């Protein structure tokens, strides 16, 4: 009779330990993923940026008189959050990169609508590539204004 009572106690204690271990495992693995990515806001992939044209260059031209490169962007949707935009200017032999992010004083990440960016450049680049959140979009040919 005493052995039967002890085995029931051991069973209950083991079930409690297994339950605690399961809760710890769930909280260590699943909860941090839910905090990083809200359920109502799915992560946008690089492919989504390219297909949906969330942000694109509508015009890119070089003004020979002022030596300004004028790049006009259009943002079609305020979602997803864009934290960094790189402009990669491609010349015949090399390239130059300008970054626009939250730390930049001279530029800001644009909301929905259009925005124009100006860059000083001694010579006309052949094209510009827009890089959004480390996702390279298609290059845009630069014409003379």
pLDDT (tens digit per residue) in 43-82: 677 777 777 777 888 888 998 888 888 888 887 776 667 7
Q: How many domains does the chain have?
A: 2
User: DSSP letter at 104?
Assistant: -
Q: Would residue 2 count as lying in a domain?
A: yes
Q: Are residues 58 and 86 in the same domain?
A: yes
Q: Would residue 10 count as lying in a domain?
A: yes
The predicted structure's pLDDT at residue 114: 65
Q: Are residues 53 and 102 in the same domain?
A: yes
CATH code of the domain covering residue 92: 2.60.40
Q: Are residues 57 and 7 in the same domain?
A: no
Q: Would residue 41 count as lying in a domain?
A: no
How many CB atoms neighbour CB 66 within 10 A?
A: 11
Q: Is the pTM of this model over 0.85?
A: no
- Distance (Å, whole) CA 100 – CA 87: 8
In the chain, pLDDT over 70 holds for what percent of residues?
78
Of the pLDDT bands very low, low, confident and very high (cuts 50, 70, 90), residue 34 is low
Q: Is the pLDDT of residue 28 over 50?
A: yes
Q: Is the pLDDT of residue 137 over 70?
A: yes
Is beta strand 127-132 parallel, antiparallel or unpaired with respect to 140-141? antiparallel
Q: Are residues 27 and 94 in the same domain?
A: no
Which residue range(s) make up the domain with 72?
46-144
What average pLDDT does the chain have? 79
Any residues with CB less than 8 A from the CB of 92 and at least 6 apart, and which?
126
């Amino acid at each position: 009779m005493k052995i039967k009572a002890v085995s029931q106690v051991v069973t209950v204690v083991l079930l409690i330990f297994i339950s605690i271990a399961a809760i710890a495992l769930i909280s260590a693995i699943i909860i941090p993923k839910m905090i990083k990515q809200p359920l109502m806001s799915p992560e946008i992939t690089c492919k989504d940026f390219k297909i949906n044209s969330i942000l694109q260059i509508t015009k890119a031209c070089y003004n020979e008189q002022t030596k300004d490169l004028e790049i006009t962007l259009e943002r079609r949707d305020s979602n997803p959050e864009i934290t960094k935009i790189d402009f990669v200017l491609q010349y015949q032999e090399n390239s130059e990169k300008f970054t626009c992010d939250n730390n930049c004083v001279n530029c800001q990440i644009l909301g929905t609508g259009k925005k124009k960016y100006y860059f000083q450049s001694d010579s006309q680049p052949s094209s510009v590539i827009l890089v959004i959140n480390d996702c390279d979009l298609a290059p845009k040919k630069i014409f003379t204004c």
